[in-house]
Amino acid sequence: MTVTDAYNDIAIRTAARLHEFRTGNNDMGVRRERALVDLVSDTDRTALGVATEYEIMGDQPVTAGLAAAAADHGIEFEHLGMTLGTVLHGVDLTRPASDDLVTFLRHTLLERKVIFFRDQHLDPGQQVAFARSFGELDAFPFGRPGADPYIVEIRHGAGSPGTENGWHSDVTWMENPSLGSIAQCVVCPPTGGDTLFADSHAAFHGLPTDLAEIAEHLDVTHDYRVFLAGRGFRAMPDEMIEQIKAEIPFGVVHPLIRTHPETGKPAIYLNGGFVRAESLTDRRTGEPLGPEVSRAMMARLLRQHDRPEYQCRFRWTEGSIAFWDNRAVQHYAASDYYPHKRVLRRVTLRGDRPYFRPS
Ligand code: SIN
């Protein structure tokens, strides 16, 4: 008998012995009946996070009512993730959307958190008009002025690698940050440049127990200093910075966990580019956690969306549109296409002030 045969012989006998032991103790049966919360470890509760969110969704990707409405509209759903992300086939956004279609898309966004459309090729006016059917828009003060003041062009290529490669929800430095963003790809790199979306409700339910115990009691300050810092350009004169700060609130406090104002679900609400990592404060006492504890906790919180289990990934093609709910997901644009060009046009819908209400 070779060494390998001897090892395999032992491995097979061990597996048989263990199986007999487990079934003899009825351990597997007991495990199946135990709640998932007791089966996951304190530090890796990812499976629990996804399963909890899915259970809240009724253990189905969409409700029966929404599936029936899709059929009525002749729309087919292609779900990308268990709890988030759906491509809608059979929609033509170049035509003005009827009230009925807008209501349907709103419901689909609320249930699936981020929705996608392919081959739309909207011009800037059409994209803005489509976005306006969902509410008021916010202009963006720190972008390159484009064809329309409500469009932000996210443009990268040679000399400008992508910078949106950190998990974030858009414009969290605003007092009333964006409800949702609608982006269309107008120039696509030959490969790469995908955008990943992660479910902030599932990420909340999957927090390690020590963070879960305190997270909903915390507030954190967000500001837009990154836009004032030059980023390769000439430093802005102090006078100009002071004028911007005087007109646009600089440093707003938001709850770390926000309640979605339409679904009532709790979500981690963060943007790594805008949070002041040292600013976590316990709302119950008004006491800051202190810079060291706050920074350490923030480093872990900012990585919570990293888990692939919470994510779906969208491969852009020109004319593709993504519409995401900034109150329910964070996103991350992979910066893996340099020196190729990638251009997205983004419009942001006005939102309301984040709050937390215990459920
Ligand atoms: C963003 O809104 O952060 C940009 C998303 C993207 O470039 O894919």
Whether 346 is a known active-site residue: answer yes
DSSP code for 40: S
| 195 in contact with ligand 1, CB cutoff 6 A | yes
Pair 116, 86: CB distance under 8 Å: yes
Q: What 3-state class would DSSP assign to 208?
A: coil
pLDDT single digits (tens) 49-74: 999 999 999 999 999 999 999 999 99
Average of per-residue pLDDT across 294-304: 97
d(CA 310, CA 331): 11
Is the domain 41-359 a CATH 3.60.130.10 member?
Answer: yes
Residues contacting residue 54 through CB under 8 Å, at least 6 positions apart: 82, 83, 202
Backbone angles phi, psi at 157, to 5 degrees: 175, -160
Q: For residue 70, give both structure tokens.
A: 């899709």
The whole-number average pLDDT for the span 226-255 is 87
What gap in Å lies between CA 78 and CA 92, rounded to an integer? 16
Q: Is the CB of 347 under 6 A from ligand 1?
A: no
pLDDT of residue 181: 98
Residue 330 Cβ inside 6 Å of ligand 1? The answer reads no
Q: 166 CA to middle of ligand 1, Å?
A: 10
Structural element, H or E, at residue 198 = strand 195-199
pLDDT in tens, 84-140: 999 999 999 999 999 999 999 999 999 999 999 999 999 999 999 999 999 999 999
Catalytic residue among 138, 156, 170, 201: 170
Dist CA 149 CA 95 (whole Å): 22
Environment class of 273 (CB within 10 Å of its CB; exposed 0-12, middle 13-18, buried 19+): middle
Specify whether 168 is catalytic: yes
Residue 190 contacts by C-beta under 8 Å, 6 or more apart in sequence? 337, 340
Rounded average pLDDT over 285-308: 97
Domain extents in the chain:
3-34, 41-359
The mean predicted confidence, pLDDT, of the chain is: 94
Query: Residues 163-188: pLDDT tens digits?
Result: 999 999 999 999 999 999 999 999 99
Residue 33's pLDDT is 63
Does the CB atom of residue 344 touch ligand 1 within 6 A? yes
| Residue 305 falls in the annotated catalytic set | no
The reply to whether ligand 1 has any atom less than 6 angstroms from the CB of 127 is no
181 CA: nearest ligand 1 atom: 2
Global pTM reads: 0.92
pLDDT category at 257 given cuts 50, 70, 90 is very high
Closest residue to atom 7 of ligand 1, CA basis: 333
